[in-house]
Structures are given as structure tokens and as C-alpha cells.
Structure 1
Amino acid sequence: MHSFFRLLSVLPIGLLHFLGAVMGWVTFALSPTYRRRFVGNAKQAGYSFRQVRAAVGHAGRMVFEMPRIWLGSSLPHCTIVNGECVERVFAQGKGLVFLTPHIGCFELSVHAAAQRWAAQHGDITVLYRPARQAWLAKILETARNRPGVQAVPTTLAGVRQMIKTLRKGSAVGLLPDQVPPQGLGMWSPFFGREAYTMTLAARLALQTGATIITARCERKSWGRGFVLYFEELATPLSPTLEDAVHDINVAMEQTIRQCPAQYLWGYGRYKQPRVDPQMSPAAEKEQA
């Protein structure tokens, strides 16, 4: 499997996207559970299947482009739009929290941002959960640590590193629509339905005074590269944790609505949280 990943990492993005789109539709056709979740999540957000059917292929593209992002000798071409808002935050000497939902090539978002700003403002710190499969864990040990990116584990030590990063005026990156382990989130509306939502993103911003910037990295057609969009929150983050978590969910909804055809509607956003012994409720309290 490691050799297969290496092979994919040298193929052109256009070919990877073609293969991925085929795989996306095959998976959709063969998995009733995935198909029901995809259609149900899209309907919850107000979309018919016809409106978001392109997301079926984009889910497969996301899988096939990952080896290229992780192991490729260079990053695919990515145009940055509205990078000025990022530069304003750095110019103020404040920490920055990049937030992106499971949309487009979210793996490329942090690497493209690091390529642009890490040399001047320090590495971007991201959390990762070690893979259960030994072959994948070996790849991920180094894959996400490209120049300018520091990956830390989903432990209390990793969270402390993120706080330290923000306090020195550098940046961190998170996927706030990822369902956290039991005890590390709270129930908050997401497209009108209660979803277990991480509190970490809100806690980091409230505790350090860091600024939140949303990001979405859209794929261009025919393997022509990517476009990375940055935006500031429409309104300041609320001072209370519960309201701040809701503010972030609203921001993620708005980001998704800007490109619903590239969101992972098949992700189990409304699932029950699992128990993670590495990040207990006691660790969550210590974060604060």
C-alpha cells in the first residue's frame, strides 16, 4: 500500500482527479449507508441531490489527491485570493486560527498558506490523530510535516503547543466540523440540526486573543490547480464559549454554501462522539 501511495504521488493532478471521480461514484453506487448519509446531510442543509451531485466525484478526488499533497516533490499550483486579510493579522502581531471545513482540498490549505507565510511568521501548527493502520501511520509521520507545517498529536501536549504557537503570533489550523471525542465538544446547531461540535477552535481564540480566518481550497476543473480563498469572520467572535462555538458553526455553514459541490456531504457530521482516552474531559478542563 505504501508503494501504491508513492505511485499516486507522482501522477498528474488531472489524472488523479479523473481516477478519484470514478472511485467516488463507484463508492456512492455500492454503499447504501454512505449514499443515505450523503443525501440526508445535503437535504438538512437545504440542497437536493441534483444541486450537489458533483460532490460525489469530488469526494473521490479528495482521496486520490492526498498522496500527491503528502508525498509529492512539490505542491500543486494554488492561487491565493484575499491573502491581504491574513497579512493584516500578522502585521498586528496577533496569533491566527485558520479554520476550514471538509471542503475541496482542505489538506492543501495549510501547506499553501505555510508556503506563503511560514518563513516570515513561523510554522503553522496542526493537530493530527495517529492512524490505526501501521502503513498509513508511517506515511503520516512525515507527510504532514512539510516545510512550514508542524503537526502535533491530538493530546493535551499538542493543544498546549497550539496555544504557545498563537501566543507568539504564529498560526494554527483546524477542521472545526470534525466530530471531536466525547467530552471535548458541545452540541450546537449545524444547518439547523444539533451536531457535536469541537470547542477547541473557540477556546484557542478566546484564550489567546487570536483572530479567526476561514479558508476554502477549491479545485479547478480538468486538473488546472486550486484556488485558496481566505475570509475574516463577518462579526467578532462572541465572548462566551457556547455562543463562540455557534458562531464558528455559522461561519462554516457560510463557507460551505459558497461551494456546496465540493463539500464532503457523506461525512458523518451528526454522529455520536467516540471516547478517546488520550483526550479526556479532564484534559478539556485543563485547556481552559
Structure 2
Amino acid sequence: MPSLFHLFSLLPLWLLHGVGAALGWLVFLVSGTYRRRFLQNVHQAGYRFADVRAAVGHAGRMVAELPRMWLRFEPPACEMVRPDPVEQAWARGRGIVFLTPHLGCFELSVQAAARRWSAERGPITILYRPARQAWLAQVMETARNRPGVQAVPTALSGVRQMIKALRRGEAVGLLPDQVPPDGQGLWSPFFGRDAYTMTLAARLVQQTGASVIIARCERKSWGRGYTLYFEELPLPLSDSLETAVLQLNQAMEQTIRQCPSQYLWGYARYKKPRAEQSAAAQVAP
């Protein structure tokens, strides 16, 4: 498996995306559990399968492009559109919380932002949970700690480092539609159905006054690269944690609806959280 992973990292993007699209459809056709979850999530959001069928192939493309994103330091072509909200957020001097759902090449979102701003503004801090397989854990450690990106553990120490980074006027990055462990989230509507949603993003903003920037990195066709978009929240985040979490879910919905064909509809967004007690459930000053 490590050799295959390294081989994939050397392939051109157009070939990776072609192989990935085929892989996505193969899994969709073979796995009844995955297919049912995919279709249930699509219908929950009010779409027909015909509206988002391209998302089947994009799920495979996401898997196939990971070796390149993790192991190669020369960046793929990424066009950055409307960076003004980010520049305005930096000017406020209170740090930035970058949020992106499981849409498009979310791995590249933080890498591209770091290449653009980290030399001047400091590294972007992200949470990192090591893989259980030793070879994959080594690969991920190399991938996460890239120039301009600082990976910290999913523990109270990592959360404290995120808070310190924000208070220095730096940035952090999170996937807010990822289901957190039990005790680290709230049940909040997502496309009209309650989903267990992390509170960390909202707590970081509430404690530090940081700006929230929504990022989405869409794949271009035929392996021609990516387009990265940035948006601010339409309204300031509420002081109420429950309301703030709902605001972020609604922001994720709006972002996904701008490119539903590249969202990971097969992700188990409505699953029950795993039982895990972790210090990261708390955000300490």
C-alpha cells in the first residue's frame, strides 16, 4: 500500500481524476450501504440524484488526488477568486477561522491559503489526528506539517495552540461538518435534519473575536486544476453557542448549494457521535 500511495503521487492530475472517477462509481455500485446513505443525504437536501450524480465521481477524485496533495510540495494550479474578504479580515487584526465543508479539494484550501499569506501572517494551524496504520501516520505527518501549515493534536493542548494563534492575529482551519466525538458538539439542523455538530469553531470565534471565512476549492474539469473561493459570514456570529452552531451549519449549507456536485454526499453526516472523552471538548483561555 505505501508503494501504491507513492506511485499515485507521481501521476498527472488528469489521470488521477480519471482513475478516481471510475473508483467513485465502482464503490457506489458495489456498496449498498454507501449508496443508500448517499441517496438519503441527497434527498434530505432537496436534490434529485440526477442533479448531483457528478458527485459520485468527485468522491473518487478526492481519494485519488490525496497522494499528490500530501506527498508533492509543488502545488497544482489553483486560481484564487475574490480574496478581498480574507484581506479585510487580516486588516481587522483578530485572526481568521477558515471553515470549509467536505466539498471539492478541501485539502488544498488550507495549502493554497498558506502559500498566499503565511509568509506575512504566520502559519495556519489545523487539528491533526494520527492514523492507526503506521505507514499512513508517517505520510500524514509529512502532509499536515507543510510550509505555512502547523498541525496540532486533537487534544486540549492543540486547542490552546489554536487560541494562541488567533490571539496573535494568525489563522486556523477546520472542517465544521465533520461529526465530532460525543461531548464535543450539539445537535443542530443541517439540511432540515438534526446532525451532531462541532462547537469548537463557534467557541474559538466567541473567545477570540476572530473573523470567519468560508472557503471552497472546486475542481476544474479534465485535471486542469482548482478554483478557490472565499466568503464571509453574512452576519456576525451570535454570543449564544446554540445559535452560533446553527449559523455555521446554515453557512455550510449555503456553500454546498453553490457546488452540490462536488460535495461528499456519502459522508455519514447524521451518524451518532462516537463515545470518546477528550480534553478538546473544552476550549480553555
d(CA) in 2 for partners of 1:242, 1:61: 35
Q: Does 1:66 align with 2:66?
A: yes
d(CA) in 1 for partners of 2:130, 2:235: 35
User: Offset at 1:73?
Assistant: 3.4
d(CA) in 1 for partners of 2:201, 2:148: 21
What does residue range 173-184 of structure 1 map to in structure 2 within 5 Å? Answer: 173-184=173-184
Tell me the SS of whatever aligns to 1:125: strand
Tell me the SS of whatever aligns to 1:8: helix
Q: List 4+ stretches of structure 1 deviating above 3 A.
A: 285-288
Q: Does the Cα contact within 8 Å between 2:206 and 2:239 map onto a contact in 1?
A: yes
Q: Does the Cα contact within 8 Å between 2:100 and 2:216 map onto a contact in 1?
A: yes
d(CA) in 2 for partners of 1:287, 1:250: 26
Tell me the SS of whatever aligns to 1:196: strand
Matched with 2:284 is 287
Q: Which amino acid aligns with 2:124?
A: I
d(CA) in 2 for partners of 1:90, 1:228: 18
User: Offset at 1:72?
Assistant: 1.1
Deviations 1:211-250 (A, max 9, x none): 0000000000000000000000111111111100000000
Q: Which amino acid aligns with 2:284?
A: Q
Q: Does the Cα contact within 8 Å between 2:200 and 2:283 map onto a contact in 1?
A: no
User: Offset at 1:144?
Assistant: 1.3
d(CA) in 2 for partners of 1:287, 1:266: 34
TM-score using structure 1 length: 0.97
d(CA) in 2 for partners of 1:111, 1:26: 29
d(CA) in 1 for partners of 2:284, 2:25: 42
Q: Note the residue ranges of structure 2 that are not aligned, 5 or more in a row.
A: none
d(CA) in 2 for partners of 1:53, 1:134: 35
Tell me the SS of whatever aligns to 1:150: strand
Q: Does the Cα contact within 8 Å between 2:55 and 2:262 map onto a contact in 1?
A: yes
TM-score using structure 2 length: 0.98
Q: Note the residue ranges of structure 1 that are not aligned, 5 or more in a row.
A: none
Deviations 1:153-200 (A, max 9, x none): 111111011000000000000000000000000000000000000000
What is the RMSD of the two structures over their aligned residues, measured on CA atoms?
Answer: 1.0
Percent of residue pairs bearing the same amino acid type: 68
User: Offset at 1:286?
Assistant: 5.0
Assess, with a 3 A threshold, how the Cα gap between structure 1 residues 286 and 61 changes in structure 2: closer, same or farther: closer
Tell me the SS of whatever aligns to 2:125: strand
Q: Does the Cα contact within 8 Å between 2:156 and 2:282 map onto a contact in 1?
A: no
d(CA) in 2 for partners of 1:235, 1:88: 15
Q: Which amino acid aligns with 1:82?
A: R
Tell me the SS of whatever aligns to 1:218: strand
Q: Which amino acid aligns with 1:193?
A: R
User: Offset at 1:89?
Assistant: 1.1
Say how many residue pairs are matched. Answer: 285
Matched with 1:209 is 209
Tell me the SS of whatever aligns to 2:6: helix
Deviates more, 1:181-190 or 1:68-77: 68-77
Matched with 1:7 is 7
Tell me the SS of whatever aligns to 1:162: helix
Matched with 1:97 is 97
User: Offset at 1:152?
Assistant: 0.8
Matched with 2:120 is 120
d(CA) in 2 for partners of 1:161, 1:188: 27
d(CA) in 2 for partners of 1:250, 1:201: 14
Deviates more, 1:69-78 or 1:20-29: 69-78
d(CA) in 2 for partners of 1:223, 1:177: 26
Q: Does the Cα contact within 8 Å between 2:24 and 2:58 map onto a contact in 1?
A: yes
d(CA) in 1 for partners of 2:3, 2:220: 28
Q: Does the Cα contact within 8 Å between 2:118 and 2:124 map onto a contact in 1?
A: yes
User: Offset at 1:287?
Assistant: 3.2
d(CA) in 2 for partners of 1:287, 1:182: 18
Matched with 2:159 is 159
Deviates more, 1:250-259 or 1:132-141: 132-141
